[in-house]
Structure 1
Amino acid sequence: METLSFKSRDYADSGAFDAYRDLYSGGSDVTALGANFAATVRGIRFPQLLLFDRTLQGVSHERTRRRVGADAFEHLMLQLVVEGRMMVLAGNVVRVVEAGELVLFDLTQPQRTWTASARIITVAVARAVVVGTLPVATDLHGTVLPRIGSELLQDFLLSLARNGDRTHAQMAAAATATVGALLLATLGGRTAASEDAPLVGAARVNLILEFIDANLVRPDLTPEIISTQSGISRTALYRLFEPLGGVAAQVQKRRLRAMRLALTRQGDSRSIGEIAIACGFVSASHASRSFRAGFGLTPREFREASLKVAGAKAAMPIDAVLQRWFDEVR
């Protein structure tokens, strides 16, 4: 398995934080909390999943709305606090995550964490691994899972941190699938007795989402068209998509996501207007307004920012490795 490591003690005092900040500059804005910063990072790359075992002292990571718009990350992130505690901000709510608790983040939404002193296992998993069975993952941003009810998931993550670097390819693929299955089961158990983040008919929803993704180019992709092609009534369709914010909202979100991903492809020579039409927007101006409302940047600003990030990372070996890893789960 491919691995990477970082130790702040390998740098002179004045350079340790700068090196760590540069390491994570492709995905978050890093701030030192006082003068006692220290960090160790051990990373392991699995298929569609990255695991980082970190000890952190005196550091904050933030994904602002502008950052979210610029880097096009789509993956989900689990953070297990093994020792110490971490404060998190997600969805305008501040929570304290204690040792033995997990927090789930959706990287398409802003967030911030503060760590005075903690050991944290962080797992970045490609959206497809989870959304294939859990389409409401977006609505779980900032969810904190206690030890009780998530024991198997936590124990498996700890085992991956201990043994993952010695895993062969077939086992590594199984490990990724197991994380997805355990997360689904953990959230299913949590929501079975709660209505604040309901799970819906995942299989049917995902068939409909596949149809939407395949037909984004159609500007007439209305609930009526979707219900007819999916073989269910509009009433059932609306009920099915209510936990996801509604049918129209999902179509718009997926148009924006498709446009954002297209704008990150360095070999894509199409104009912004051509990309907008291909994603189903009625005009470039309509796409630009929607894109800015969703991500805080115009499509042109986003494309320029993405190219700058890609160019800046090329000169830094460990940073380039990490960037390549995240590109695989983006």
Structure 2
Amino acid sequence: MSTQVFSTRAVPADQQLDAWRSWFEPVFDVAKPDDGTAQGFEAESAVRILGGAVFSQVTTPHIHAIRGMRNIRRDPVDHWSITVGTRETRLTLARGSLAVPASTPFVVCLGEPVESEREADERLQLYLPRDRFASLAPVLDQARGTPMLGPTGRLLADYLRLLARSLPGLPDEDLPRLSEPIRAMVAACVTPVGAVSELAAEQMDLTRLEQVRQAIRRRLSSATLTAGSLCREVGMSRSQLYRLLEGEGGVIHYIQRLRLQASHAVLSDPHDMRPIAAIAEACGFYDPSTFSRAFRREFGVAPSDFRVAARVGAAPATAWRPLMEAETRSLGACLRGY
């Protein structure tokens, strides 16, 4: 099914907050409100899968959501999230804190730590996976963490509201066709208008970084994936490549991180029954012990233990969880596409 609905309204009041946390774990942690309102937590999330994009309508009381390094290690989904809410949103990012006015869209990247706090509101969120929307990488990375004010911001907010009104009336088989119209509309609203010379160099680097990332992902299993072969494939000098990836920890670290993220995604999939050694080799690790050490160092758990935990997590929902319209039972599963 392309539509998932999760609501805590049928859950006993003293279990509602835990139920909500279970839906968002491990993508986000939900902090306990400190304003005396924790007796109940009536909230609802309706999620629709739109050909790679994920559209979410969320209604909650006062909430403080956190995506820290622990969450990123446990579930390294690398999506952009475009959000518009009915109340002010207080964001805390690596670069500082800001307040986003009500009805103003903003972009965050789930590959980076982020905290979000707001009073009771209704909000719309469009999740775009980096792999499927790579052409938008330069403009979305540039826009992240900044309120989208002005005419194009209002246009994007209106577009998200239009999706919210229109999607319930569309049959599930039509939803995957919306991927390309969404890509075009987001690009039109987020791309800077006119010549903005001061952004040109940074956007060029972001474009090159995305080219490098895609080249690495195409060759994850290759034993000949080196800095030199990568330079030849993307058409840049060794010095350019090292400068580009300096902020990512260097070329070798960046390649290994992408390989580990790929292996994490495969081990999260309860339907992939390949041996761990085969998965490791498919992701570029030819020595099982080296893979196990690197995986544990990155995610804090051995690959075998992580796979067991992922399979336990794929078990049927416990009785107190409301039934949903498909087997998917968490936001992370929706974002990963199963």
* TM-score range normalised by the length of the shorter chain: 0.7 to 0.9
The answer to whether the aligner puts 1:106 opposite 2:112 as a matched pair is: no
Which residue of 128, 134, 138 maps to 2:137? Answer: 134
**Secondary structure in 1 aligned to 2:221?**
coil
AA of the residue aligned to 1:31: A
- Structure 1 CA distance, aligned partners of 2:46 and 2:71? 24
Unaligned 5+ segments in structure 2 are none
The answer to whether the aligner puts 1:225 opposite 2:229 as a matched pair is: yes
Question: Which deviates more from structure 2 when the two are superposed, residues 125-134 or residues 192-201?
Answer: 192-201
Aligned match of 2:274 = 269
Aligned match of 2:146 = 144
Classify 1:264/1:58 alpha carbon distance in 2 versus 1 (closer, same or farther; 3 Å): same
Aligned match of 1:48 = 52
User: Does the 8 A contact of 1:3 with 1:42 survive in 2?
Assistant: yes
The answer to whether the aligner puts 1:90 opposite 2:117 as a matched pair is: no
Deviations 1:141-183 (A, max 9, x none): 9513323242322211110011111125676344332333333
Aligned match of 1:162 = 165
Aligned match of 2:31 = 31
Which residue of 66, 69, 76 maps to 1:65? Answer: 69
How far residue 270 of structure 1 moved from its aligned partner, in angstroms, is: 1.6
Classify 1:228/1:146 alpha carbon distance in 2 versus 1 (closer, same or farther; 3 Å): closer
**Secondary structure in 2 aligned to 1:198?**
helix
Classify 1:304/1:171 alpha carbon distance in 2 versus 1 (closer, same or farther; 3 Å): closer
How far residue 84 of structure 1 moved from its aligned partner, in angstroms, is: 1.3
Question: Which deviates more from structure 2 when the two are superposed, residues 242-251 or residues 65-74?
Answer: 242-251
How far residue 289 of structure 1 moved from its aligned partner, in angstroms, is: 4.4
Classify 1:111/1:101 alpha carbon distance in 2 versus 1 (closer, same or farther; 3 Å): same
- Structure 2 CA distance, aligned partners of 1:7 and 1:328? 16
- Structure 2 CA distance, aligned partners of 1:295 and 1:95? 30
User: Does the 8 A contact of 2:29 with 2:66 survive in 1?
Assistant: yes
Unaligned 5+ segments in structure 1 are none
- Structure 1 CA distance, aligned partners of 2:103 and 2:176? 26
Classify 1:109/1:304 alpha carbon distance in 2 versus 1 (closer, same or farther; 3 Å): farther
The answer to whether the aligner puts 1:213 opposite 2:223 as a matched pair is: no
- Structure 1 CA distance, aligned partners of 2:80 and 2:6? 23
**Secondary structure in 1 aligned to 2:274?**
coil
RMSD value, Cα = 3.8
**Secondary structure in 2 aligned to 1:212?**
helix
TM-score w.r.t. length of structure 1: 0.79
From the two aligned structures, give the one with the greater strand fraction: 1
- Structure 1 CA distance, aligned partners of 2:173 and 2:326? 26
AA of the residue aligned to 1:14: D
The answer to whether the aligner puts 1:305 opposite 2:309 as a matched pair is: yes
- Structure 2 CA distance, aligned partners of 1:44 and 1:325? 11
Percent of aligned pairs with the same residue? 23
Deviations 1:70-117 (A, max 9, x none): 234333322212x21222233263332221323323333333322222
**Secondary structure in 1 aligned to 2:84?**
strand
Question: Which deviates more from structure 2 when the two are superposed, residues 15-24 or residues 238-247?
Answer: 238-247
Question: Which deviates more from structure 2 when the two are superposed, residues 86-95 or residues 195-204?
Answer: 195-204
How far residue 221 of structure 1 moved from its aligned partner, in angstroms, is: 1.6
- Structure 2 CA distance, aligned partners of 1:242 and 1:181? 32
AA of the residue aligned to 1:61: A
